[in-house]
Structure 1
Amino acid sequence: MDLVRQFDGERSEEEAIHAFLGHHPGSFEPEWLRRLIRQSLLPKGILIYAHQDPARVAVSSQPKRAFLFLKLPIFPPSVVDVVAQWLSFMFQWPALLCGALLFVASHVYVYGVLIQERHVDFNQLNAAGILLIMLLSTLGTICHEFGHASAAAHYGCRKMTIGWGLYIIYTVLWTNVSEAWKLPRRQRAMIDIGGVYFESLFLLLTLALYSETGNLVFLFAFVMIDLNIVMTLNPFLRMDGYWLMSDLFGIVNLRKQQTAWLEEIAAKLFGNGSGAPRSSLSERAKWALGIYSVAGAIFLIYLLTVIFKFVILNVAGAYPAMLQAFWHDALAGMTALELLGGFFEIFWRSLMLLGAAVMLLSLGRRAIGMVARVGMFRAAAQQRGV
């Protein structure tokens, strides 16, 4: 705000920056202030050029499709706003506390009791079970998006849309909460976490269905949806976790700051740090981001271990015999419906194994990249005689 006050309608950008630094010598680099003006204050309409119409500022120039190849609205504001306002009471502190306690209790029960006691065999699932898991996962994702909208409605946002999009090869849902940028950072952070909050409550439904029926489909759905939640909270992807950390600590360009910080750490470990980019993250933000990332990585590794043990190994172990049986039955004669059902059984198992292979390949490539980067720091350190 002190910087904004220097724009009196007569000063240029450089003159305003110079005047600001005159009141706050050494507080900020001029280039950082220029980026703040051009990347935030002007796009958001906090500052405007003399020739601009004040009624038309802060209108995003981003293409409608943006990073999505397809972007189709599903629920219009006339639906989203009504539902979101009706559910906005869930973001009052008593409801939030109750939701947090239920989240912890359900996870302790599932991973501490059910997963340990039951012999979970993924091959027990048939095509109908897989379709049911996909349906439950989709419903959980819809709840996730209404969580964002309900949190935004709790803080007064309106005209929200929920839609479907295609990102690379993935189908995604999105929620337009454009009015949220006007809110304080902590309220924006609550909107960021609102989707996970509602999706976690949806987990309670799958757990209740499992307790009532004893059907392993609902237990598998719990684990699969949980994995989606953890991936959403990853602060290194542009998903909820990324925006949560950005809003909590007011970090602009969090991705670049993370990269600079990690390279800074590597340079300190394997060199003198002089060649690494300098991160502008505060010490508080670094500690919080570090703890958040480590805790998230530990839980993600645990979930992946559970899935690998109870899903991938089971499917891979039974896959050759299933292929042989399908081929034998096909040669012996099958109806078209039986052939289609058998093909689907093979198809979704093949997709799961392919997905596991791609994930392992991606992790391997990332590990090789990290080793290569460490090697670069070591080589640079040796050249400097460190």
Structure 2
Amino acid sequence: MLCEGKPTPNNSSPLPPPIDSRRVSCASPLCSAAHSSAPPADLCAAARCPLEDIETESCASHACPPLYYAYGDGSLVAHLRRGRVGLAASMAVENFTFACAHTALAEPVGVAGFGRGPLSLPAQLSPALSGRFSYCLVAHSFHADRLIRPSPLILGRSPDAARLGPAETDFVYTPLLHNPKHLYFYSVALEAVSVGTRRIQARRELGYVDHAGNGGMVVDSGTTFTMLPNETYARVAEEFARSMAAARFVRAEHAEAQTGLTPCYYYAASDRDAIRAVPPMALHFRGNAAVALPRKNYFMGFKSESGKDVGCLMLMNGGDASGDADGGGGPAGTLGNFQQQGFEVLYDVDAGRVGFARRRCTDLWDTLSRR
């Protein structure tokens, strides 16, 4: 968050760090976590702790070095601090750790981390709010007047859906995979994708994470479209195209060239018969967790540049590579937020699982607002 030497919104005097907070030590495991698991000795050396104190592990009085953080198109430089945070009149978290930024470019006032690391917001609020949280993403819309409700975020979410009113479906759960290289990823095992009546087996890499951190499917609210390895994507797209051709949809190749999406077809969203002819699609995760996608989550209709109504498969080819350029490991696939629309996604970290349930996210927001 921007809190150190930054001007207030009315351009008055700069904001000081919170009075009841203090710097985190370079020897703290939290400092190491903020610096990509760098050894405390290296961090304390950067903090100018004398060599003899580094050798005797006596650098506790030296502050954690500034950290650089980039997200989206913005970035910031911050110091790590910790202090007491009040959540409600009767609830507070002691030693809450946060980054106090003194330099930022194109960043919002603050960014909340929801990964699996020790510095994430859910991890620090546990056990006060348990190790669970969920969100429910309202439908994507390019029309501002249709954005009538925000997407609800629930901290300390109970898996008992009845607490928040009637649910369209119960949660289906799939276990989280351990990623030894990227501990903050929410990785799950994708076993298959169904298109119509055909079940297409996913590539083996989507079902496990190796010692280098390669593999698995990451559930990610920040990535727009689901990405599949080339072979799996090609088989899904081929079966989808076969089913669409059998239903006598006409291919819109000009829309494919314009959008980079494929396959695309001439399609009017107002045509109920056409809607029913689009083959259903489901994602099958480990643990018999079948997630049937609404059609709008994988096949979206819009007007092309020529003014014609078309619809395209909203999945992306993620290529063959599974890993970073530096060999640091990477996911084999990503479950993007477009495919998560209309689902409450529950991250039950304590139980090591992720749950999916169909919801009317606007109704869920209204229910929460009345509590």
Shorter chain as normaliser: what TM range? under 0.3
**What is the TM-score with the length of structure 1 in the denominator?**
0.22
**Structure with more helix by fraction:** 1
- Rg (Cα) greater in structure: 1
Q: TM-score, structure 2 length as denominator?
A: 0.23
